[in-house]
Copies of this chain bind each other. A is one copy, B any other.
Amino acid sequence: MIKELVKGNRSYRRFFEDEKISMDTLKDLIDLGRLAPSGKNVQPLRYILTNEEEMNKRVFPHLKWAGYLKDWGGPIEGEKPSAYIIIMWDKTLPTSRDIAICDLGIASQSILLGAREKGLGGCIFWSFSRKDLIEVFNIDDKYEPLQVIAIGKPKEEVVIDEINKDGNIEYWRDKNFVHHVPKRKLDDIIIG
């Protein structure tokens, strides 16, 4: 069952933008991050949530979409995310950067599996203008924005393929706009 959730939790980049996401739903998702393990239990992550059109419009321009899809500039009007979660690290707490970033992965995956269970989907961004988001949200110096998760009701099909012999891991879109993600084989990632 968890396998179906994990398999179904792909990076979605096109959404039914008019499907709104309530603040309660976003808080339910953050709660999964809150309950997940944290290195030395420091829990150094902090969250900013947005689900309103006005604020979403101020976040969107600062995200860099789908590096491998050179001809695609991101979702068009009507297919943009309905909400964003900005995840920050409180640098004043006694944990290392490595542990904070591992906590980030643990929390992100928990949040996205929760989104999937609710029929939603999302996409994790590393590539975004930190400087601009700090300005948009007036983020205090003690926080470092690490990641943005875009959330919405997915409007695209994403499939997992077995990696080709050439070893190319770049995702791509076919002529029907289906998004393909080549994954390495189990035997190739287990050593010894």
Contact = CB atoms under 8 A, between A and B. Distances in A.
Interface of A: 1-3, 5-7, 9-11, 27-28, 30-37, 39-43, 45-49, 67-68, 88, 98-99, 101-110, 112-114, 117, 124, 126, 137, 143, 147, 160, 169-171, 181-184, 186, 189-192
Given A27-B186, A43-B184, A2 B114 contact: yes
Copies in the complex: 2
- Most-contacted residue by chain B among A9, A104, A113, A191 (CB, 10 A): A191
Given A30-B189, A191-B88, A40 B11 contact: no
A113 B105 CA distance: 14
B117 A109 contact: no
A35 B113 CA distance: 12
A113 to B, nearest CB: 5
